[in-house]
A and B are shown apart, each in its own frame.
Chain A
Amino acid sequence: MTMLECYEEVVGRHEIDHLRRLGERLAGKRMIHINSTRKGGGVAEILEWMVPLMNELGIDARWETIQGNADFYKVTKSFHNGLQGLPVNLRAKDYELHLAVNEANAQQLNLEADYVFVHDPQPIYLPKFTAPGRVGRWVWRCHVDASRPDRGVWKHLAGALPAYDGAIFSMPAFTRPLEKPIFLCPPSIDPLSDKNRLLPESERLATLERLGVDPDRPMILQVSRFDRFKDPLGVIQAYRLVKSAHPELQLVLVGGPADDDPEGAEVLSEAMESAGNDVDLKVLMLPPDAHRDINALQRSAVIVLQKSLKEGFGLTVTEALWKSKPVIGGACGGITLQVHDYQTGFLVHSPAGAAYRIRYLLRYAEKRQRMGQTGHEFVRENFLLTRHLRDYLSLLLCLDNPGMDVLAA
């Protein structure tokens, strides 16, 4: 069975036919995706399925990565932070190193293609060092919120943008005014990945037992890093406000290890201290590849929370909606695009607000169910990888026909 046929079982024949039709218009076109790593991180996860699916659709797609030394990656990590608004302190030689590594990679890589998608800031200066005419269209794909960047970092990166034919951002709030077309393409989840696929009931129950969660009592869940912006203490506060009315309630806070993040370790310790010896409140630290455990927890929750104070797109919300769970989310970032009051869950602004909505949803099982169904369909329509692929194919057609609606009959 081909990859597309596997996804057809999830999204339906029309959706896959749609992709095939768009693919026919682009058949034989050469496309390169470039980023800085093949392992780890959201971009590599996307390219792992994006490139083979494009090839299945007849596009000659390749995935290249740039190479750099440790100093280069330190500088680009600062770019990453600076793009997202953290103040960074870079010197002229750091910017020069970035340019030099881009130049060296441009000389080594075979970049002859009709379209090149450059992902994030690490390879952003490749067009400057690539001979004219080798690439049909350059597109910069920015995966982070660049709306309020560090001024110095933005000044440096913006210098690369005149060479591009367009840029792609995940949502309008993440963009900056540019002279080029700014395409919008939200991220997506893979419904067949370990984190999102259906699990055998026996595995789900075994996971709950192993993690000490009672499968017979309602459980609410937040999956997120231990980060102040995710407000784990606010979630605990909300749980405590509900617990007296619903003594059977359990709360699970689950996140990944925070060894490389001193503040994360601090927030984790505060969360554990706040949990105290409440046996119904679990603060779990799972390894980064515990996707099936996360899946089992999400499928077992009656309500999923993402009570963030600041958020990117919030793919944990997407994952929960896909599993037909109502979501109570902080009214920020991409959560506002996914959580719609009384439709897929509730947006809240305080621990009290979260507590109130938890009580509401615990009381109305049929509303939970209806919101869960709506959320599942909402994700099917908008946030699965097939939509992501459709967006990319459609915008390639747009690039070839600038400024007009395209009839690709």
Chain B
Amino acid sequence: MADSSFTLFDCSLVRLATGRSCTNLRELLDALRTAPLSVLEHHLLRCPLEDHFELYEFPNDLARWCWDALGERQLAEELALVNPYTVGVKELRTLLVNKLEDRLWALDRVPWCRPGFELHLLESRLISFDTGERFATLASLAQALQGLSRRSLFFHVHEAHARCGVDDFSAWVERTGGPPELIDRIRAIDFYFLNLNQLRRQLLEAFCAQLTEPQVVLGAVR
């Protein structure tokens, strides 16, 4: 009989420079039109692995660059709302290009960044592997959530969505006949708009709401 435990994976990101960078909005538009899809994927889907701050406002590199480096607030706000998990990567390119074209059309001058604040276009490879750790119960998985690497969280939520359209945690709860409220609650987490530490807290809250002794899990944190 197959092991029904939760299989914990971890991953690491290998970043590659494309040798191409943008200094203004027109160059970004050109890059969005012509760069490989892997570049869009890195800057929209994998950037949470590089976002370390609780208060960082934007979920993707493009919005962040427009806000911080170009001072292009309106476009940054629009790009921040793009959720790459709700559209395919190819449609994503069209969507982004349209947003930039609209904005450039409305502007008198092309916004530029200062030297040193260029957007360097990157792509990445994800190396993922089985850690060998298995969790058979909700409580043990909840307890493990405290100490998981941020990369594990990314793999089981963000990467899982890209892989199969749903996160690994709720998929496991569903597969093992766990509480439907927990499945709903995990799937309701707006993960793309959270950083990984915020995501960890929301997952923990969802699990602990289902446990008879959540203080045992939460106590382990403190």
Contact = CB atoms under 8 A, between A and B. Distances in A.
A14 B14 contact: no
A49 interface: no
Contacts of B21: 172-173
Given A175-B17, A340-B53, A381-B52, 20 more contacts: A14-B10, A14-B147, A17-B131, A18-B131, A172-B21, A172-B120, A182-B17, A183-B16, A183-B17, A333-B116, A336-B117, A343-B53, A390-B12, A391-B12, A398-B127, A405-B127, A406-B126, A406-B128, A408-B129, A409-B129
B150 interface: yes
A405 B53 contact: no
Given A184-B17, A390-B12, A405-B125, A381 B53 contact: no
Contacts of B151: 18
Interface string B19-59: 11100000000000000000000000000000011011000
Interface of A: 12, 14-15, 17-18, 21-22, 25, 169, 172-173, 175-178, 181-184, 331-333, 336, 340, 342-343, 374, 377-378, 381-382, 390-391, 394-395, 397-398, 404-409
Nearest to B129: A408
Contact of B128 (A15, A178, A405): A405
A336 B116 contact: yes
Q: Main SS of chain B's interface residues?
A: strand
Interface in B59-108: none
A114 to B, nearest CB: 17
Interface string B178-207: 000000000000000000000000000000
14 contacts: A12-B147, A14-B148, A21-B10, A25-B129, A175-B17, A178-B19, A181-B16, A331-B114, A343-B56, A374-B53, A398-B14, A405-B126, A406-B126, A408-B128
A177 B52 contact: no
B52 A378 contact: yes
Greatest chain A CB density within 10 A among B118, B148, B151 is at B151
B64 to A, nearest CB: 11
A22 B125 contact: no
A336 B69 CA distance: 11
A394 B19 contact: no
A374 B56 CA distance: 13
B16 A22 contact: no
B45 to A, nearest CB: 12
B5 interface: no
Interface residues of B, number: 35
Nearest to B121: A172
Give 8 nearest A-B pairs by CB, closest first.
A172-B120, A177-B19, A182-B17, A408-B129, A184-B15, A394-B12, A175-B17, A405-B126
Nearest to A404: B125
A21 B129 contact: yes
B122 interface: yes
A246 to B, nearest CB: 28
B12 A18 contact: yes
Contacts of A14: 10, 131, 147-149, 152
Contacts of B12: 18, 22, 390-391, 394
Contact of A172 (B14, B122, B150): B122
Given A172-B21, A382-B52, A22 B127 contact: yes
A262 B71 CA distance: 42
Contacts of A333: 116
B16 A397 contact: no
Contacts of B55: 342-343
A18 B19 contact: no
B130 interface: yes
Nearest to A392: B14
Given A173-B118, A391-B14, A407 B19 contact: no
Given A172-B120, A173-B120, A333-B116, A18 B14 contact: no
A175 B20 CA distance: 9
